[in-house]
Amino acid sequence: MRPRVEPTNLTRVDFTELTPDVLPFLGQAAYIQLEFFENLSRAVATSPNLAAKEGLSASAGVALRKHHGLIEEIREHDAEPEDVMAPFAPALDVYRTAIAGADWWELLLGTYVSAGMLDDYFIRLADGLPSPVRGRVVRLLGEVGASPVLVRELSEGIATVPGLADRLALWGRRIVGDTLLVARSAIREGTGTGPEVEPMFTELIAAHTRRMDGLGLTA
Amino acid sequence: MRPRVEPTNLTRVDFTELTPDVLPFLGQAAYIQLEFFENLSRAVATSPNLAAKEGLSASAGVALRKHHGLIEEIREHDAEPEDVMAPFAPALDVYRTAIAGADWWELLLGTYVSAGMLDDYFIRLADGLPSPVRGRVVRLLGEVGASPVLVRELSEGIATVPGLADRLALWGRRIVGDTLLVARSAIREGTGTGPEVEPMFTELIAAHTRRMDGLGLTA
Protein backbone atom coordinates (compact mmCIF):
# COMPACT_ATOMS: atom_id res chain seq x y z
CA MET A 1 0.00 0.00 0.00
CA ARG A 2 2.98 2.32 0.47
CA PRO A 3 3.62 4.63 -2.47
CA ARG A 4 7.02 3.89 -3.95
CA VAL A 5 9.15 6.93 -4.45
CA GLU A 6 12.00 6.83 -6.92
CA PRO A 7 15.21 8.39 -5.66
CA THR A 8 15.46 11.87 -7.15
CA ASN A 9 18.76 12.92 -8.67
CA LEU A 10 18.95 16.40 -7.25
CA THR A 11 22.10 18.39 -7.69
CA ARG A 12 23.57 18.21 -4.24
CA VAL A 13 24.09 21.58 -2.62
CA ASP A 14 27.58 22.29 -1.32
CA PHE A 15 27.20 22.81 2.44
CA THR A 16 30.87 23.23 3.23
CA GLU A 17 30.68 27.04 3.19
CA LEU A 18 28.34 26.73 6.16
CA THR A 19 30.53 24.40 8.24
CA PRO A 20 31.34 25.92 11.64
CA ASP A 21 34.66 25.60 13.46
CA VAL A 22 35.66 22.11 14.54
CA LEU A 23 34.82 22.36 18.23
CA PRO A 24 31.34 23.88 17.96
CA PHE A 25 30.58 21.33 15.24
CA LEU A 26 31.71 18.42 17.42
CA GLY A 27 29.94 19.77 20.50
CA GLN A 28 26.60 20.19 18.80
CA ALA A 29 26.85 16.93 16.84
CA ALA A 30 27.80 15.04 20.03
CA TYR A 31 24.92 16.50 21.97
CA ILE A 32 22.44 15.75 19.19
CA GLN A 33 23.52 12.10 19.24
CA LEU A 34 23.00 12.09 23.00
CA GLU A 35 19.47 13.40 22.43
CA PHE A 36 18.81 10.64 19.89
CA PHE A 37 20.11 8.13 22.40
CA GLU A 38 17.81 9.51 25.08
CA ASN A 39 14.73 9.44 22.86
CA LEU A 40 15.52 5.97 21.53
CA SER A 41 16.06 4.69 25.07
CA ARG A 42 12.72 6.14 26.01
CA ALA A 43 11.21 4.36 23.02
CA VAL A 44 12.70 1.11 24.35
CA ALA A 45 11.36 1.68 27.86
CA THR A 46 7.87 2.61 26.65
CA SER A 47 7.64 0.07 23.82
CA PRO A 48 4.25 -1.65 23.84
CA ASN A 49 5.84 -4.84 22.57
CA LEU A 50 8.97 -6.77 23.44
CA ALA A 51 9.77 -7.48 19.79
CA ALA A 52 10.48 -3.81 19.02
CA LYS A 53 12.85 -3.43 21.95
CA GLU A 54 15.74 -5.29 20.38
CA GLY A 55 15.97 -3.13 17.27
CA LEU A 56 15.31 0.09 19.13
CA SER A 57 17.89 -0.66 21.80
CA ALA A 58 20.47 -1.56 19.16
CA SER A 59 19.74 1.81 17.52
CA ALA A 60 20.14 3.55 20.86
CA GLY A 61 23.52 1.82 21.08
CA VAL A 62 24.53 3.22 17.68
CA ALA A 63 23.60 6.77 18.74
CA LEU A 64 25.57 6.22 21.94
CA ARG A 65 28.65 5.08 19.99
CA LYS A 66 28.44 8.17 17.79
CA HIS A 67 28.09 10.36 20.87
CA HIS A 68 31.13 8.82 22.58
CA GLY A 69 33.12 8.85 19.33
CA LEU A 70 32.49 12.58 18.96
CA ILE A 71 33.40 13.13 22.61
CA GLU A 72 36.70 11.39 21.93
CA GLU A 73 37.29 13.77 19.01
CA ILE A 74 36.67 16.72 21.32
CA ARG A 75 39.28 15.35 23.74
CA GLU A 76 41.69 14.88 20.81
CA HIS A 77 41.39 18.65 20.38
CA ASP A 78 42.40 19.15 24.04
CA ALA A 79 38.98 20.39 25.06
CA GLU A 80 36.51 19.26 27.71
CA PRO A 81 33.44 17.67 26.07
CA GLU A 82 31.20 19.07 28.78
CA ASP A 83 32.32 22.66 28.11
CA VAL A 84 32.06 22.26 24.36
CA MET A 85 28.56 20.75 24.49
CA ALA A 86 27.17 23.04 27.21
CA PRO A 87 26.23 26.00 24.96
CA PHE A 88 24.00 23.71 22.86
CA ALA A 89 22.37 21.81 25.70
CA PRO A 90 19.50 24.13 26.68
CA ALA A 91 18.07 24.55 23.17
CA LEU A 92 18.58 20.89 22.30
CA ASP A 93 16.95 19.72 25.53
CA VAL A 94 13.87 21.76 24.65
CA TYR A 95 13.99 20.36 21.11
CA ARG A 96 14.26 16.76 22.35
CA THR A 97 11.22 17.18 24.54
CA ALA A 98 9.35 18.80 21.66
CA ILE A 99 9.94 15.93 19.25
CA ALA A 100 9.18 13.25 21.86
CA GLY A 101 5.45 13.77 21.30
CA ALA A 102 2.49 12.52 23.23
CA ASP A 103 2.89 8.77 22.82
CA TRP A 104 5.16 6.03 21.53
CA TRP A 105 4.18 6.51 17.89
CA GLU A 106 4.86 10.24 17.96
CA LEU A 107 8.16 9.55 19.70
CA LEU A 108 9.14 7.14 16.90
CA LEU A 109 8.13 9.53 14.13
CA GLY A 110 9.74 12.49 15.91
CA THR A 111 13.00 10.59 16.18
CA TYR A 112 12.77 9.39 12.57
CA VAL A 113 12.12 12.88 11.19
CA SER A 114 14.78 14.44 13.38
CA ALA A 115 17.49 11.83 12.86
CA GLY A 116 16.65 11.64 9.16
CA MET A 117 17.17 15.35 8.66
CA LEU A 118 20.02 15.97 11.09
CA ASP A 119 22.19 12.88 10.63
CA ASP A 120 22.52 13.45 6.92
CA TYR A 121 22.89 17.19 7.44
CA PHE A 122 25.77 16.82 9.88
CA ILE A 123 27.56 14.41 7.57
CA ARG A 124 27.26 17.02 4.81
CA LEU A 125 28.50 19.79 7.10
CA ALA A 126 31.39 17.54 8.18
CA ASP A 127 32.64 17.69 4.60
CA GLY A 128 33.80 21.21 5.39
CA LEU A 129 35.92 20.17 8.39
CA PRO A 130 39.72 20.08 8.10
CA SER A 131 41.44 16.75 7.50
CA PRO A 132 41.93 14.28 9.23
CA VAL A 133 39.00 14.95 11.58
CA ARG A 134 36.73 15.18 8.52
CA GLY A 135 37.26 11.56 7.52
CA ARG A 136 36.90 10.22 11.04
CA VAL A 137 33.69 12.16 11.70
CA VAL A 138 32.12 11.22 8.36
CA ARG A 139 32.84 7.53 9.01
CA LEU A 140 31.55 7.80 12.57
CA LEU A 141 28.30 9.51 11.63
CA GLY A 142 27.86 7.27 8.61
CA GLU A 143 27.01 4.16 10.63
CA VAL A 144 23.42 3.17 9.92
CA GLY A 145 21.33 4.21 12.87
CA ALA A 146 17.70 4.00 13.83
CA SER A 147 16.03 4.64 10.47
CA PRO A 148 15.44 1.03 9.34
CA VAL A 149 13.91 -0.08 12.61
CA LEU A 150 11.85 3.11 12.93
CA VAL A 151 10.52 2.70 9.38
CA ARG A 152 9.61 -0.91 10.11
CA GLU A 153 7.72 -0.12 13.33
CA LEU A 154 6.06 2.99 11.94
CA SER A 155 4.96 1.22 8.75
CA GLU A 156 3.44 -1.58 10.75
CA GLY A 157 1.61 0.86 13.01
CA ILE A 158 0.35 2.96 10.11
CA ALA A 159 -0.95 -0.18 8.40
CA THR A 160 -2.74 -1.55 11.45
CA VAL A 161 -3.71 1.24 13.88
CA PRO A 162 -6.86 3.11 12.77
CA GLY A 163 -6.37 6.87 12.47
CA LEU A 164 -2.63 6.70 13.10
CA ALA A 165 -1.62 7.78 9.57
CA ASP A 166 -3.54 11.07 9.80
CA ARG A 167 -2.28 11.83 13.26
CA LEU A 168 1.34 11.11 12.32
CA ALA A 169 1.12 13.14 9.11
CA LEU A 170 0.08 16.13 11.19
CA TRP A 171 2.77 15.42 13.76
CA GLY A 172 5.47 15.21 11.08
CA ARG A 173 4.46 18.65 9.81
CA ARG A 174 4.62 20.10 13.32
CA ILE A 175 8.19 19.06 14.07
CA VAL A 176 9.84 19.86 10.77
CA GLY A 177 10.08 23.56 11.62
CA ASP A 178 11.83 22.97 14.93
CA THR A 179 14.25 20.61 13.21
CA LEU A 180 15.11 23.22 10.57
CA LEU A 181 15.86 25.70 13.36
CA VAL A 182 18.31 23.21 14.88
CA ALA A 183 19.90 22.80 11.46
CA ARG A 184 20.21 26.54 11.06
CA SER A 185 21.72 26.94 14.52
CA ALA A 186 24.51 24.60 13.46
CA ILE A 187 25.98 26.68 10.65
CA ARG A 188 28.93 29.03 10.78
CA GLU A 189 28.13 32.27 12.58
CA GLY A 190 27.22 35.13 10.28
CA THR A 191 25.95 32.89 7.50
CA GLY A 192 22.60 32.09 9.05
CA THR A 193 20.39 34.82 7.68
CA GLY A 194 21.30 35.34 4.04
CA PRO A 195 20.07 33.64 0.90
CA GLU A 196 23.06 31.26 0.97
CA VAL A 197 21.17 28.99 3.37
CA GLU A 198 18.09 28.71 1.12
CA PRO A 199 19.34 25.74 -0.92
CA MET A 200 20.25 23.89 2.27
CA PHE A 201 16.72 24.29 3.63
CA THR A 202 15.22 23.32 0.30
CA GLU A 203 17.25 20.14 0.18
CA LEU A 204 16.49 19.17 3.80
CA ILE A 205 12.76 19.68 3.21
CA ALA A 206 12.84 17.68 -0.02
CA ALA A 207 14.51 14.75 1.73
CA HIS A 208 12.00 15.03 4.58
CA THR A 209 9.12 14.92 2.09
CA ARG A 210 10.54 11.78 0.50
CA ARG A 211 10.83 10.11 3.90
CA MET A 212 7.25 10.97 4.86
CA ASP A 213 6.11 9.83 1.45
CA GLY A 214 7.94 6.54 1.98
CA LEU A 215 5.78 5.98 5.06
CA GLY A 216 2.64 6.82 3.08
CA LEU A 217 2.22 10.10 4.98
CA THR A 218 1.54 13.47 3.40
CA ALA A 219 4.31 15.86 4.38
CA MET B 1 34.38 10.99 55.60
CA ARG B 2 33.38 7.63 54.10
CA PRO B 3 34.04 4.67 56.38
CA ARG B 4 36.53 2.32 54.78
CA VAL B 5 35.42 -1.27 54.74
CA GLU B 6 37.98 -4.00 54.37
CA PRO B 7 36.97 -6.77 51.97
CA THR B 8 35.71 -9.68 54.04
CA ASN B 9 36.97 -13.13 53.22
CA LEU B 10 33.71 -15.00 53.42
CA THR B 11 33.57 -18.60 52.40
CA ARG B 12 31.81 -18.30 49.07
CA VAL B 13 28.59 -20.25 48.89
CA ASP B 14 28.24 -22.64 45.97
CA PHE B 15 25.26 -21.41 43.95
CA THR B 16 25.54 -23.91 41.12
CA GLU B 17 22.90 -26.22 42.62
CA LEU B 18 20.43 -23.39 42.10
CA THR B 19 21.30 -22.65 38.46
CA PRO B 20 18.24 -23.01 36.22
CA ASP B 21 18.24 -24.42 32.69
CA VAL B 22 20.20 -22.48 30.11
CA LEU B 23 17.31 -20.78 28.31
CA PRO B 24 15.42 -19.48 31.36
CA PHE B 25 18.75 -18.30 32.74
CA LEU B 26 19.62 -16.44 29.55
CA GLY B 27 16.12 -15.00 29.17
CA GLN B 28 15.97 -13.58 32.65
CA ALA B 29 19.57 -12.36 32.65
CA ALA B 30 19.02 -10.68 29.26
CA TYR B 31 15.86 -8.95 30.42
CA ILE B 32 17.50 -7.76 33.64
CA GLN B 33 20.28 -6.14 31.61
CA LEU B 34 17.62 -4.47 29.48
CA GLU B 35 16.06 -3.09 32.68
CA PHE B 36 19.44 -1.77 33.82
CA PHE B 37 19.86 -0.18 30.41
CA GLU B 38 16.45 1.47 30.67
CA ASN B 39 17.07 2.84 34.16
CA LEU B 40 20.56 4.05 33.29
CA SER B 41 19.22 5.75 30.15
CA ARG B 42 16.61 7.43 32.27
CA ALA B 43 19.37 8.55 34.62
CA VAL B 44 21.16 10.08 31.61
CA ALA B 45 18.02 11.85 30.41
CA THR B 46 17.14 13.23 33.84
CA SER B 47 20.69 14.02 34.97
CA PRO B 48 20.85 17.44 36.60
CA ASN B 49 24.37 17.96 35.28
CA LEU B 50 26.02 17.36 31.94
CA ALA B 51 29.19 15.99 33.54
CA ALA B 52 27.42 12.88 34.86
CA LYS B 53 25.89 12.05 31.50
CA GLU B 54 29.09 10.73 29.96
CA GLY B 55 29.75 8.08 32.60
CA LEU B 56 26.11 7.12 32.94
CA SER B 57 25.61 6.77 29.21
CA ALA B 58 28.76 4.67 28.91
CA SER B 59 27.33 2.43 31.66
CA ALA B 60 24.04 2.21 29.80
CA GLY B 61 26.08 1.09 26.80
CA VAL B 62 27.69 -1.69 28.85
CA ALA B 63 24.29 -2.96 30.02
CA LEU B 64 23.12 -2.85 26.41
CA ARG B 65 26.12 -4.88 25.22
CA LYS B 66 25.40 -7.48 27.90
CA HIS B 67 21.75 -7.58 26.87
CA HIS B 68 22.57 -8.07 23.19
CA GLY B 69 25.30 -10.58 23.99
CA LEU B 70 22.81 -12.68 25.97
CA ILE B 71 20.27 -12.37 23.16
CA GLU B 72 22.91 -13.74 20.81
CA GLU B 73 23.39 -16.69 23.15
CA ILE B 74 19.65 -17.35 23.08
CA ARG B 75 19.77 -17.39 19.26
CA GLU B 76 22.74 -19.77 19.43
CA HIS B 77 20.35 -22.12 21.22
CA ASP B 78 17.89 -21.85 18.32
CA ALA B 79 15.35 -19.96 20.38
CA GLU B 80 13.61 -16.62 19.87
CA PRO B 81 14.87 -14.09 22.44
CA GLU B 82 11.46 -12.49 22.65
CA ASP B 83 9.79 -15.80 23.59
CA VAL B 84 12.47 -16.68 26.10
CA MET B 85 12.37 -13.29 27.81
CA ALA B 86 8.60 -12.85 27.77
CA PRO B 87 7.79 -14.89 30.92
CA PHE B 88 10.09 -12.65 32.98
CA ALA B 89 9.01 -9.31 31.52
CA PRO B 90 5.91 -8.48 33.61
CA ALA B 91 7.53 -9.01 37.02
CA LEU B 92 10.78 -7.32 35.97
CA ASP B 93 8.93 -4.33 34.52
CA VAL B 94 7.21 -3.83 37.88
CA TYR B 95 10.56 -4.26 39.61
CA ARG B 96 12.27 -1.71 37.36
CA THR B 97 9.61 0.88 38.11
CA ALA B 98 9.87 0.10 41.82
CA ILE B 99 13.61 0.69 42.00
CA ALA B 100 13.48 3.83 39.85
CA GLY B 101 12.38 5.84 42.89
CA ALA B 102 11.05 9.36 43.16
CA ASP B 103 14.02 11.35 41.84
CA TRP B 104 17.42 11.09 40.21
CA TRP B 105 19.23 10.17 43.44
CA GLU B 106 16.85 7.34 44.23
CA LEU B 107 17.14 6.14 40.66
CA LEU B 108 20.94 6.04 41.00
CA LEU B 109 20.86 4.22 44.33
CA GLY B 110 18.14 1.84 43.13
CA THR B 111 20.22 0.93 40.11
CA TYR B 112 23.37 0.60 42.21
CA VAL B 113 21.73 -1.68 44.77
CA SER B 114 19.99 -3.72 42.11
CA ALA B 115 22.93 -4.09 39.73
CA GLY B 116 25.27 -4.69 42.65
CA MET B 117 23.22 -7.59 43.92
CA LEU B 118 22.03 -9.09 40.65
CA ASP B 119 25.10 -8.75 38.41
CA ASP B 120 27.28 -10.63 40.84
CA TYR B 121 24.50 -13.10 41.56
CA PHE B 122 23.96 -14.00 37.90
CA ILE B 123 27.69 -14.47 37.38
CA ARG B 124 27.65 -16.89 40.31
CA LEU B 125 24.60 -18.73 38.95
CA ALA B 126 26.27 -18.87 35.53
CA ASP B 127 28.95 -21.08 37.10
CA GLY B 128 26.36 -23.86 37.02
CA LEU B 129 25.69 -23.58 33.29
CA PRO B 130 27.09 -26.20 30.92
CA SER B 131 30.26 -25.48 28.98
CA PRO B 132 30.95 -23.62 26.65
CA VAL B 133 28.05 -21.23 27.30
CA ARG B 134 29.26 -20.89 30.89
CA GLY B 135 32.57 -19.29 29.93
CA ARG B 136 31.02 -16.96 27.39
CA VAL B 137 28.31 -15.77 29.80
CA VAL B 138 30.71 -15.27 32.71
CA ARG B 139 33.00 -13.18 30.50
CA LEU B 140 30.07 -11.21 29.11
CA LEU B 141 28.56 -10.43 32.50
CA GLY B 142 31.96 -9.74 34.01
CA GLU B 143 32.49 -6.47 32.14
CA VAL B 144 32.58 -3.62 34.66
CA GLY B 145 29.27 -1.83 34.48
CA ALA B 146 27.70 1.12 36.20
CA SER B 147 28.99 0.67 39.75
CA PRO B 148 32.04 2.99 39.63
CA VAL B 149 30.15 5.90 38.10
CA LEU B 150 27.15 5.37 40.39
CA VAL B 151 29.40 5.30 43.47
CA ARG B 152 31.10 8.50 42.32
CA GLU B 153 27.86 10.40 41.73
CA LEU B 154 26.16 9.06 44.87
CA SER B 155 29.18 9.83 47.08
CA GLU B 156 29.30 13.37 45.79
CA GLY B 157 25.57 13.83 46.38
CA ILE B 158 25.70 12.33 49.87
CA ALA B 159 28.60 14.64 50.75
CA THR B 160 26.97 17.81 49.47
CA VAL B 161 23.16 17.54 49.50
CA PRO B 162 21.68 18.09 52.99
CA GLY B 163 19.46 15.23 54.18
CA LEU B 164 20.27 13.01 51.21
CA ALA B 165 22.20 10.40 53.23
CA ASP B 166 19.23 9.68 55.51
CA ARG B 167 16.78 9.55 52.66
CA LEU B 168 18.96 7.20 50.62
CA ALA B 169 19.66 4.92 53.59
CA LEU B 170 15.92 4.46 53.95
CA TRP B 171 15.51 3.97 50.21
CA GLY B 172 18.23 1.32 50.11
CA ARG B 173 16.41 -0.64 52.81
CA ARG B 174 13.15 -0.43 50.92
CA ILE B 175 14.41 -1.95 47.68
CA VAL B 176 16.57 -4.75 49.02
CA GLY B 177 13.54 -7.00 49.61
CA ASP B 178 12.26 -6.63 46.04
CA THR B 179 15.74 -7.38 44.74
CA LEU B 180 15.98 -10.57 46.81
CA LEU B 181 12.65 -11.67 45.35
CA VAL B 182 14.05 -11.23 41.84
CA ALA B 183 17.09 -13.26 42.88
CA ARG B 184 14.89 -16.03 44.25
CA SER B 185 12.75 -16.08 41.10
CA ALA B 186 15.90 -16.85 39.11
CA ILE B 187 16.77 -20.18 40.71
CA ARG B 188 15.97 -23.66 39.47
CA GLU B 189 12.32 -24.55 39.95
CA GLY B 190 11.62 -26.57 43.07
CA THR B 191 14.64 -25.23 44.95
CA GLY B 192 13.15 -21.90 45.90
CA THR B 193 11.53 -22.64 49.22
CA GLY B 194 13.87 -24.85 51.20
CA PRO B 195 16.76 -24.01 53.49
CA GLU B 196 19.22 -24.51 50.61
CA VAL B 197 18.63 -20.92 49.50
CA GLU B 198 19.41 -19.43 52.92
CA PRO B 199 23.18 -19.11 52.42
CA MET B 200 22.59 -17.42 49.07
CA PHE B 201 20.36 -14.79 50.67
CA THR B 202 22.80 -14.31 53.52
CA GLU B 203 25.65 -13.70 51.10
CA LEU B 204 23.67 -11.29 48.93
CA ILE B 205 22.60 -9.28 51.97
CA ALA B 206 26.15 -9.19 53.35
CA ALA B 207 27.48 -7.84 50.04
CA HIS B 208 24.63 -5.31 49.95
CA THR B 209 25.51 -4.13 53.47
CA ARG B 210 29.15 -3.65 52.46
CA ARG B 211 28.10 -1.58 49.44
CA MET B 212 25.80 0.66 51.52
CA ASP B 213 28.53 0.97 54.11
CA GLY B 214 30.97 2.02 51.39
CA LEU B 215 28.64 4.92 50.62
CA GLY B 216 28.45 5.82 54.30
CA LEU B 217 24.82 4.68 54.49
CA THR B 218 23.37 2.42 57.16
CA ALA B 219 21.94 -0.66 55.50
Cβ contact A65–B61 (<8 Å): yes
pLDDT band at B186 (very low <50, low <70, confident <90, very high): confident
Distance CA A127, CA B212 (A): 50
CATH superfamily, region A19-214: Ferritin, core subunit, four-helix bundle (1.20.1260.10)
Q: What is the pLDDT of residues B133-184, one digit of tens each?
A: 999 999 999 998 889 999 999 999 999 999 999 999 999 999 998 998 888 8
Closest CA to B70 of B122, B18, B5: B122
Average pLDDT (A180-209) is: 80
Residue A62 to chain B, least CA–CA distance (Å): 9
Pairwise CB contact (< 8 Å): A44 & B38: yes
Residue A182 CB-half CA count within 13 A: 30
Q: Could A34 and B53 be called an inter-chain contact, meaning their C-beta atoms sit closer than 8 Å?
A: yes
**pLDDT averaged over chain A?**
89
Question: What gap in Å lies between CA B112 and CA B147, rounded to an integer?
Answer: 6
Nearest Cα residue in chain B from A87 = B50
Q: Domain boundaries in chain B? A: 16-214
Predicted local confidence at residue A12, as pLDDT: 60
Q: How far is A9 from chain B (nearest CA, A)?
A: 38
Mean of pLDDT over chain B? 89
Interface membership of A37 toward B (CB under 8 Å):
yes
Spatial distance between the Cα atoms of A15 and A187, rounded to a whole number of angstroms? 9
- The confidence score (pLDDT) of residue B11 equals 54
A199, A41 contact by CB (below 8 A): no
Residues in chain B within 8 Å Cβ distance of A57: 34, 37, 64, 67-68
| 8 Å CB contact of A89 and B50 | yes
Contact between residue A81 and residue A71 where contact means Cβ atoms under 8 Å apart: yes
Rounded CA gap, A168 and A159, in Å? 12
Q: How confident is the model at residue A1 (pLDDT cuts 50, 70, 90)?
A: very low
A219 at B interface, C-beta within 8 A: no
**Best CA proximity match to B31, nearest among B90, B76, B111:** B90
**A141-155, B31-45, B189-203: range with lowest mean pLDDT:** B189-203
Residue A16: pLDDT band (50, 70, 90) is: confident
Please give the helix or strand (H or E) that residue A198 lies within, else none.
helix A198-214
Q: Across the interface, do B54 and A71 touch by the CB < 8 Å criterion? A: yes
Q: What is the mean pLDDT of residues A192-209?
A: 79
pLDDT in tens, B56-77: 999 999 999 999 999 999 999 9
**For residue B78, is pLDDT > 80?**
yes
Segment B85-133, tens digit of pLDDT: 999 999 999 999 999 999 999 999 999 999 999 998 899 899 999 999 9
- Residue B153 confidence (pLDDT): 96
Percent of residues, chain B, with pLDDT higher than 90: 69
Taking alpha carbons only, the member of B44, B59, B104 closest to residue A96 is B44
CATH class of the domain defined by B16-214:
mainly alpha
Q: Who has greater pLDDT, B196 or A66?
A: A66
pLDDT at A9: 46
pLDDT score at B187:
80
Contacts of A174 (CB under 8 A, 6+ apart): none
A91 touches chain B (CB under 8 A): no
- For residue B85, the chain A residues in CB contact (below 8 A) are 50
